[in-house]
Amino acid sequence: MKTKDRILDVSVELFNKNGVVAITTNHIAKAMNISPGNLYFHYDNKEEIIAELFRRMCKETYKIWSPKHISSMSPVQFVEENFDVYWKYRFFHREMYALRRKDPALAKMWKNHMAKMMKLMKVLYRHWVADGKMVQIKNDKELLYVFESLLAMATTFLQFFESTEKSAGKASVLRGKTHLVRLLLPYSIGKSKDEFENFLNSEPSV
């Protein structure tokens, strides 16, 4: 693996474990057993590393949301794959508000990402309606409410549940998945509704 990619892998692991504020480029270099100079050859500062990790997260997310990929999985599988990405880059969902305030460039990237996600949600919605997986919502205001509720839940659940639960981590991810599926359930039909209900009934209490 290239050093540049190793820096990203080690950084996301450290950010997830300790938080962005607590980790410096020196910590990252030490964890990799390389000199700070070697790290700076690839990235000028921690902000560049964070920005590249954000691009990587977006790329992995957009791959899941591609029409071809959507067609190959059930709605439950789709939710599961998205939450795998949320967990992989969980430091973003814990700290994005503070990171955006500190870094205007990252704030702009985040805003563009949210705008793209809204567009992708419209594509997904049309696909699921055509496939008989979701009811058609004719009221534009209600449709916008559904999109915004799902996106708000998906981008803030980790911070919320980790601040309220006795134990954080995977339990918070499970809570997030459960709530998102419950939001989707009233709008699902056919096999998709059955899958969502089975998912909710099979999930252990947390």
According to DSSP H, which parts of the chain are helical?
3-18, 25-32, 36-42, 46-64, 67-71, 75-88, 90-102, 104-130, 140-164, 170-184, 190-202
Q: Are residues 3 and 105 in the same domain?
A: no
Q: Are residues 103 and 139 in the same domain?
A: yes
Q: Are residues 53 and 152 in the same domain?
A: yes
Q: Are residues 25 and 60 in the same domain?
A: no
Low-confidence ranges of the chain (pLDDT < 50): none
Q: How high is the pLDDT of residue 204?
A: 62
Q: How high is the pLDDT of residue 31?
A: 97
Q: Are residues 3 and 74 in the same domain?
A: no
Measured distance CA(154)–CA(151) in Å, rounded: 5
Q: Are residues 58 and 95 in the same domain?
A: yes
Structure tokens at 155: 């981008």
**Which residue shows structure tokens 């839940």?**
153
Measured distance CA(55)–CA(101) in Å, rounded: 18
Can you give the pTM of this predicted structure? 0.91
On whether the CB atoms of residues 178 and 203 are closer than 8 A, the answer is: yes
CA distances from 79 to 107, 128, 163, 164 (A): 25, 13, 23, 23
Q: Are residues 33 and 65 in the same domain?
A: no
Measured distance CA(87)–CA(158) in Å, rounded: 9
Q: How high is the pLDDT of residue 162?
A: 80
Residues 6+ apart with CB under 8 A from 195: 74, 75, 76
pLDDT digits over 144-201, tens only? 999 999 999 999 888 888 877 665 677 888 889 999 999 999 999 999 999 999 999 9
Q: Are residues 90 and 59 in the same domain?
A: yes
Measured distance CA(137)–CA(143) in Å, rounded: 6
Q: Are residues 33 and 58 in the same domain?
A: no
Q: Are residues 65 and 20 in the same domain?
A: no
Structure tokens at 173: 């991810």
